[in-house]
Structure 1
Amino acid sequence: MNSRLFSFCGGLTGDWMVTSIRAICGETLPDAERLHIHQGLGNAHEALSSDTKWFLRGVTSNDRYVTRPEKELLVARQAPLGRATATHAALIPIRKSAAWWAMTQDERRALFEEESHHIKIGMDYLPAIARRLHHCRDLESKEPFDFLTFFDFAPGDEPLFDRMLEKLRSTREWSFVDREVDIRLKKVTPT
């Protein structure tokens, strides 16, 4: 079992109600009523059920494109996922173009932070917005996305989240995104 592996199943069951699924670029995902998040499954098929409309997987990994001072600042400012007040969330799957992956790591870093200011933009919205990044290219199977980012926030912070996304999507880095889906979620309260 790999505790760094996360599976996201869109279907009829799960702790998160899907409030919208919207393609930003490229093809969308099928509609789903709920999202179930599984952590640490050894076999991906354990997460599937008969009501699964789509299934995405990714692993948490080492930090990339970040310097030591940036990492220390992120760790100091970022809130953990799962706060009681964070009843709204977003899952944003992204696939970058072949041109992005043809660049070297230092070229991607330069575009990511030094030109597009990805980390700096995100810092402006901490600790209101928490996130966990999942890498999909590291898996043995061909996945439809390169990254899955799960964010959570309080309902009143959704406009902040939207502003952050607007800023990120206006950068040159986003010109290398060829598929992005914005999935909005609301925590299901037990009855």
Structure 2
Amino acid sequence: MALTQFTAGATGTWQIDRILAVTGSTLALAGRLEVSALPPTARPDAVWMLSGATSYKRYTERAEQAALDAAQPALGRPEARCAALIPIRKTARWWDLPQDERRAVFEETSHHIAVGLEYLPAIARQLYHSRDLGGPFDFLTWFEYAAGDASAFEELLARLRTSREWDYVEREVDIRISR
């Protein structure tokens, strides 16, 4: 398990192009974003900080994981100069469901993994879990893609946001970033 911190402020590797509340409240505006390993470092310019951990794949079956591993490119590709950080908090109703019912909504009904696979390797992604870290979001998803794949990224988001799974999202912020 690796811990990662996303710090918005006046400095950082990535330029924040926009912050948009999709559902619920937004995050404060900032000019730059730094992505770094935890433990957190004090930054006097920090407007907000979000932390997450990579972890085991909670809703992914073995064959799905093998397909993801075969198609998923590494983060940090030179051509991937566009990125998005999308923090999401799900409803209490979601967390009240047993694991198998969450899995059914996630994949059997919403086809989250299958849809994501259609956009690999153009759009790389990493999921960070933050629910157990006490942050304001349950998940932080980081996407990287080349500028030429921006329309495919928009299509991916549109498909996911119209799925049944998104009935359980109570807060989502869409942060677009570039370098």
TM range (shorter): over 0.9
Return the alpha-carbon distance in structure 2 between the equivalents of residues 64 and 154 of structure 1.
28
1:74 counterpart = 2:68: yes
Alignment map for 1:103-182 (pairs within 5 Å): 103-139=97-133, 142-182=134-174
Show CA shifts across 1:6-47 (max 9, x none). 000011000000000000000000000000111132xx3x2x
Return the alpha-carbon distance in structure 2 between the equivalents of residues 53 and 13 of structure 1.
11
Partners of 1:94 and 1:145 within 8 A in 2: yes
1:31 to 29, 33, 43: 29
**Paired residue secondary structure (1:38):** strand
**Paired residue secondary structure (2:131):** coil
**Paired residue secondary structure (2:135):** coil
Give TM-score scaled by structure 1 length.
0.92
**Paired residue secondary structure (1:163):** helix
Shift of 1:51: 1.0
Return the alpha-carbon distance in structure 2 between the equivalents of residues 13 and 4 of structure 1.
23
Return the alpha-carbon distance in structure 2 between the equivalents of residues 40 and 56 of structure 1.
11
Show CA shifts across 1:62-96 (max 9, x none). 11101100000000011110001000000000000
User: Which runs of 4 or more aligned residues in structure 1 lie more than 6 Å from their structure 2 counterparts after TM superposition?
Assistant: none
Counterpart for residue 8 of structure 1:
6
Partners of 1:18 and 1:183 within 8 A in 2: yes
**Paired residue secondary structure (1:182):** strand
Return the alpha-carbon distance in structure 1 between the equivalents of residues 9 and 99 of structure 2.
36
Q: Give, as a single letter, the amino acid of the residue that structure 1 aligns with 2:76.
A: G
Counterpart for residue 65 of structure 1:
59
Unaligned ranges ≥5, structure 2: none
Shift of 1:116: 0.4
Q: Give, as a single letter, the amino acid of the residue that structure 1 aligns with 2:150.
A: E
Show CA shifts across 1:76-119 (max 9, x none). 01111000100000000000000000001100000000000000
Q: Give, as a single letter, the amino acid of the residue that structure 1 aligns with 2:72.
A: Q
Return the alpha-carbon distance in structure 2 between the equivalents of residues 38 and 148 of structure 1.
14
Give TM-score scaled by structure 2 length.
0.98
Show CA shifts across 1:138-179 (max 9, x none). 32xx21000001110001101100000000000010010000
Counterpart for residue 83 of structure 2:
89
**Paired residue secondary structure (1:23):** strand
Partners of 1:59 and 1:138 within 8 A in 2: no
Unaligned ranges ≥5, structure 1: none
Q: How many residues align?
A: 179
Shift of 1:49: 1.1
Return the alpha-carbon distance in structure 1 between the equivalents of residues 38 and 95 of structure 2.
27
